[in-house]
Amino acid sequence: MTQAEKPAQDPWLLTPGPLTTSRTVKEAMLHDYGSRDQRFIDINRHVRDRLVEIIEGQGSHVCVPLQGSGTFVVEAMLSNFVPSSGKVLILINGAYGARMQAICEYHRLQSEVLQWPEDKPVDPGQVAECLAGDSSITHVAVVHCETTTGILNPIEAVGKVVSQAGRSLLIDSMSAFGALPVSTKEINFDALVASSNKCLEGAPGMGFCLASESALTATEGNSDSLCLDLYQQWRGLESNGQWRFTPPTHCILAFDQALKEFDDEGAVAGRGGRYRENCEVLVAGMRAMGFETLLPDALQAPIIVTFKMPADSAFDFQRFYDGLSERGYVIYPGKLTVAESFRMGCIGRLGISEMRGALEAVRIVMEEMGVDSGSPAD
Ligand SMILES: *Cc1c(COP(=O)(O)O)cnc(C)c1O
């Protein structure tokens, strides 16, 4: 991952997505395959099988890919798995949890909400209490890494209380999948969704749902959307290897290459290890310049880091953003209600040298603004 590997004009994306991809992933897209080309059908099979293996779900779980960005498959999961007679408890500690609630409103699904501040993880104890008090709740929906802040939610512990209460779990693992372990041996879930472009480092354009085969089978007829009908998408793929509508062929070719690179790196352990290193280098370097993270290290997932806005009146976020961008590093504004903030991501095809480069750019831009410290304290 040297600078020479990338065309000079592409910035490094320290964002929650779209993310930096390898040159070889981009090159995998230099083909026009017909959807009925046997090579393409085989690649689809391989991608779907490999995704099931990542969760150790062979024999019990299946993979249903879906065109669109990640939110499309979140919407598909909720609107397919929660029947009109059901009720879903949504755990919210950030924007992606809130988005799940919005999805349920669109689909007129019955829902209940448990909410925490953005800097607190969801609390399995409160989930257990809520389930004990409301027998009409059939499903619980949780976000794995809440990308709003980068906070890690304890999905195994949530899974335990949901199972004990005899309800079903739905997981948005979009920004964590591939970097943090999820195994069907450790956690019971009906469905989990993620996408091609986050920690798996493919091109953006498709999501996928990893579902218990029996739970997916039971969703037949539930969907109130033609395009988002996961059961029908699955039946189509199983019967003739075809997506129901034009597949994102280039995206799938890139995804297949991205999965090879994921395996070459040592799968979840290797990928997660690199991101953890990125995160540690980034946080240590920013702290050395006075910046403070929103979250204590114990709650921080190695995905994206929220920094509090510096207090120095000479600090101007737009200038900071533009200065970094001019130097080839794209960061992300904050999305918080609890504090003024900005975010820097650790995921995508980035390594320690890119993190160090970003830190050096931060140092230079701070100097240009005449800001001595990134400290948020006055
Ligand atoms: C990125 C992300 C999504 C999907 O966002 P899109 O912009 O639709 O790709 C959903 N949930 C979480 C937690 C995410 O990080």
For ligand 1, the distance from its centroid to the CA atom of residue 337, given in whole angstroms, is 19
Q: Whose CA is nearest to atom 12 of ligand 1?
A: 174
Q: Which CATH number fits domain 9-20+268-369: 1.10.3720.10, 3.40.640.10, 3.90.1150.10, 1.10.10.10?
A: 3.90.1150.10
pLDDT computed for residue 2 by the predictor: 53
Which pLDDT score is estimated for 252?
98
> Which conformational region is residue 363 in: left (phi greater than 0), alpha (psi within -120 to 50 degrees), or beta?
alpha
How high is the pLDDT of residue 6?
47
pLDDT tens across 322-374, in order? 999 999 999 998 878 778 999 999 999 999 999 999 999 999 999 999 999 99
Ligand 1 atom closest to the CA of 146, numbered from 1? 13
19-59: pLDDT as tens digits: 999 999 999 999 999 999 999 999 999 999 999 999 999 99
Q: Residue 3: what pLDDT?
A: 52
195 lines ligand 1 (CB under 6 A): yes
Q: Average pLDDT over the chain, rounded to whole?
A: 96
Give, using CA atoms, the residue closest to atom 9 of ligand 1: 70
- The fold for domain 24-264 equals Aspartate Aminotransferase; domain 2 (3.40.640)
- Write down the pLDDT at residue 197: 95
Residue 7: the pLDDT is 46
| Predicted local confidence at residue 338, as pLDDT | 75
Residue numbers of the chain with a pLDDT score lower than 70: 1-8
Tokens for 154, please give them: 């304890």
Say how many C-beta atoms besides its own lie within 10 A of residue 145's C-beta.
30
CA 133 to centroid of ligand 1, rounded, Å: 31
Residue 234: both structure tokens together: 């699955």
C-alpha to C-alpha distances, 141 to 7, 134, 176, 257, 282, nearest whole angstrom: 41, 15, 15, 31, 31
Rg over CA atoms, the chain? 21
Can you give the pLDDT at residue 8? Answer: 64
Among 16, 32, 104, residue whose Cα is nearest residue 306: 16
Q: Where are the domains of the chain?
A: 9-20+268-369, 24-264
Instruction: Tell me, using a 6 A CB cutoff, whether residue 306 lines ligand 1.
Output: no
